[in-house]
Amino acid sequence: MLMSDPFVVVGGDAAGLSAASKCLRTDPDRDVIVFEKGSWVSYAHCGTPYFVKGEIEHLTDLLSLSPEEAADRGIDLRRGHEVVAVDTDARTVTVAHDGETTEQPYGDLLVATGARAVSEPIEGSTLDGVFTLHGLDHAADIRSYLTPPEAFDVADLGGGDALDEATAARYGGMDPPGTVAIVGAGYVGVEMAEAFAAWDLDVHLFQRSDRPVPGFGDAVGDAVTDHLRESAVALHLGEEVRRLDGAGGRVDRVVCAGGTELRVDAVLVGIGIRPNTGFLADTPVAIGESGAVATDEHGRTSLEDVYAAGDVAEMPHTVTGDPTWNPLGLPANRAGRAIGSTVGGDPEPVGRVSGTAMVKVFDLECGRTGLLDHDRARGAGFDPVSETITAGSRSGYYPGAAETTVTLTADRDSGRLLGGSIVGTDRAAVRIDTVATALGGEMTVAELERQDLGYAPPFSPVWDPVLVAAKVLNGSLE
C-alpha cells in the first residue's frame, strides 16, 4: 500500500510545517518530508514591516521554527528544493535541487506553496529601489536601503545563513531614500507607511479606490484616512499608479494614470498577492474560482490523497459556506495542523474562515470580520443592512477612554449577523474577536446584543461598543 510512502509537504512555512509537526505527533512512525524552494522556513510574514521599521532587530527573531527544531521533531526538511511538477497517477513529485531533478513518491501530499506578491500591471517594477514585501529577503533589502552606508553592516540584519547577503549589501551601499511612494493602501501599504515614517522619509501612499484598507469597510477607511494624514503621510486617493520611471536603472519617478507624477527615491508595491499554483498546471487538482486550490472540509483537494492549505488554498466561509481565498496566518496554521492530524490518522476539520483581520496604522487599531461589502452579501443571497456607531472604549469618566467606531452588517429578514469592523486607539482591534465569535456561533444581531460581555471602567463601558452597535442595528431591523 502506498500509505507507507511518505507524507510529502510542498512549502516550509506556516501551513506546511504545522502539518508536518502535527502529523508526526499523531503518528510518530510516519515519514514526513518537507520541500522548501527557498532558504527560509516558518517565518512570520506579518512581522516584516516591523523589522523594516527597526522595532524588531534581527531577521531570525521572526522565525518560529528553526531548521534544527524541525529536525528535532523528526521532519525531513529540505531547503533549496523546489517541487516543479506532480504526477498524481504515479504519486510522485519532481524536485529540482542544485540543477538536478529527482522523483519523490508520496503517500499523501500537501500543497502549501503560499502566495507571491505581484506588481503587474505596473510598469518598471524591476528598477532598483522598487520593492514588494513578501519574505525576509525583501525585508532585508528594504532595511538595508534605508540604512545610511556608513552605518550599514550586513551582520546587523541578523539573517544567519539563510539571508541573500549580496542583494542586501548592494542596497546597503546606496544612498538612502528621502521620498518613498507606496502603491496600494492595504495591510502592507499602511504598515509600511508607519515603517518608512519611522525612518523620517517623506511617505506618499497611493490608493486606486477612494479609501485606504478597502477590505475594512468605509468607516474604518475614513478613520484611517484621517489618521494617516495626521501622521504626515501624503495620501493620494483615487490615483492609479501606471508606471515607474528611472534613470541608470534606479527608480526616480511615479506616474499615475491621471497624469500625476511624483519624484521618488524608492517605491513599495503592495497591490496584492497570488497563490503559487503553477506547478499544479498539468495535474487534475481542481483550482477554485478565486485561483487558489479548491478544498473540502478536511483540506482535501479534488484528489483523495492531495491536500492544500495556507495562502495557496481556498477554505469555506463562515457565513456563506462558499469556497473563499483568505490568505492569512491563523487559517494557514489551523488548516495545516488539521491536515497533519488527518494524514496522521485522526481526521480533523480545517474549520471555516471569516476573513477576520487586524491591522495597526500608526496609533490606530483596526479589525474586520465576515461580510461587510453589501454587493458581496447580496451575491450570497442576503439583504444586507449596516449601522455604524461611535462609542467610548472605557467608561466616559475613566481616563483614556477613546472613541471606538463599530460597523455591523446583518441580513434584514433573518437578523443574522453577517460581519463587522472596528477602529479606535484603545483596545479596539481585539474586540473584533467578539464579532468573529458571534459569526462563528451563527448569531442574530439580537442575540449578539444580549451577550453577557465584561464591564469594568478601565477596560470597557457598561455597553461595549460592539453591543452598542448591535443595539442600534437591531433597532433598525425591527
Nearest distance from C-beta of residue 448 to a second copy, angstroms? 8
Choose which of 214, 215, 246, 351 interacts with a second copy (CB under 8 A). 351
381 binds a second copy (CB under 8 A): no
Backbone angles phi, psi at 109, to 5 degrees: -125, 135
Nearest distance from C-beta of residue 8 to a second copy, angstroms? 24
158 binds a second copy (CB under 8 A): no
Choose which of 371, 436, 468, 469 interacts with a second copy (CB under 8 A). 436
Closest to a second copy by CB, 63 or 117: 63
User: Grid coordinates in use for 152?
Assistant: 550599514
User: Grid coordinates in use for 204?
Assistant: 506618499
224 binds a second copy (CB under 8 A): no
User: Grid coordinates in use for 357?
Assistant: 483581520
Nearest distance from C-beta of residue 459 to a second copy, angstroms? 4
359 binds a second copy (CB under 8 A): yes
Taking the CB of residue 102, how many other CB atoms lie within 10 A of it? 11
Choose which of 438, 468, 469, 473 interacts with a second copy (CB under 8 A). 438
Which of 152, 230, 157 lies closest to 194 in space, CA to CA? 230
Nearest distance from C-beta of residue 335 to a second copy, angstroms? 10
313 binds a second copy (CB under 8 A): no
| Interface positions, 59-88, toward a second copy (CB under 8 A) | 61-62
232 binds a second copy (CB under 8 A): no
| Among the residue ranges 34-42, 155-163, 253-261, 446-454, the one whose residues contact a second copy (CB under 8 A) | 446-454
Taking the CB of residue 44, how many other CB atoms lie within 10 A of it? 17
Backbone angles phi, psi at 126, to 5 degrees: -95, 0
Cβ atoms of 243 and 122 closer than 8 Å: yes
User: Grid coordinates in use for 78?
Assistant: 529540505
Nearest distance from C-beta of residue 463 to a second copy, angstroms? 7
Which of 297, 303, 311 lies closest to 339 in space, CA to CA? 297
Spatial distance between the Cα atoms of 422 and 420, rounded to a whole number of angstroms? 7
Tell me: cis bond preceding 121? Omega within 30 of 0 counts. yes
Spatial distance between the Cα atoms of 202 and 212, rounded to a whole number of angstroms? 18
DSSP string spanning 398-457? STT--EEEEEEEEETTT-BEEEEEEEESSS-GGGHHHHHHHHHTT-BHHHHHT-----BT
| Among the residue ranges 197-205, 227-235, 265-273, 454-462, the one whose residues contact a second copy (CB under 8 A) | 454-462
Q: Is 46 marked active-site?
A: yes
Taking the CB of residue 173, how many other CB atoms lie within 10 A of it? 11
Helices (H), 207-309: 217-230
Closest to a second copy by CB, 33 or 185: 185
| Interface positions, 7-36, toward a second copy (CB under 8 A) | 14
Which of 444, 449, 445, 442 lies closest to 464 in space, CA to CA? 449
Q: Name the β-bridge partners of 423.
A: 366, 405
334 binds a second copy (CB under 8 A): yes
Spatial distance between the Cα atoms of 186 and 271, rounded to a whole number of angstroms? 7
460 binds a second copy (CB under 8 A): yes
453 binds a second copy (CB under 8 A): yes
| Among the residue ranges 65-73, 99-107, 163-171, 436-444, the one whose residues contact a second copy (CB under 8 A) | 436-444
Nearest distance from C-beta of residue 58 to a second copy, angstroms? 9
Taking the CB of residue 192, how many other CB atoms lie within 10 A of it? 25
Nearest distance from C-beta of residue 118 to a second copy, angstroms? 22
* Interface with a second copy: number of residues (CB under 8 A): 67
Site string for a second copy, 270-309 (x = CB under 8 A): ----------------------------------------
The crossing angle, in degrees rounded to 10, of helices 329-343 and 14-26 is 30
Site string for a second copy, 396-435 (x = CB under 8 A): -xxx---------------------------x-xxxxxx-
Choose which of 207, 333, 386, 405 interacts with a second copy (CB under 8 A). 333
Spatial distance between the Cα atoms of 8 and 335, rounded to a whole number of angstroms? 16
Catalytic, out of 23, 46, 256, 366? 46
Helices (H), 118-232: 136-146, 165-172, 187-198, 217-230
How many angstroms separate the first and last alpha carbons of the chain? 61
Would you name the residues annotated as active-site residues?
Answer: 46
**Binding interface with a second copy (CB under 8 A):** 14, 44, 46-47, 50, 55-56, 61-62, 318, 328-331, 333-334, 349, 351-360, 365, 367, 369, 395, 397-399, 427, 429-434, 436-443, 447-448, 450-460, 462-464, 466-467
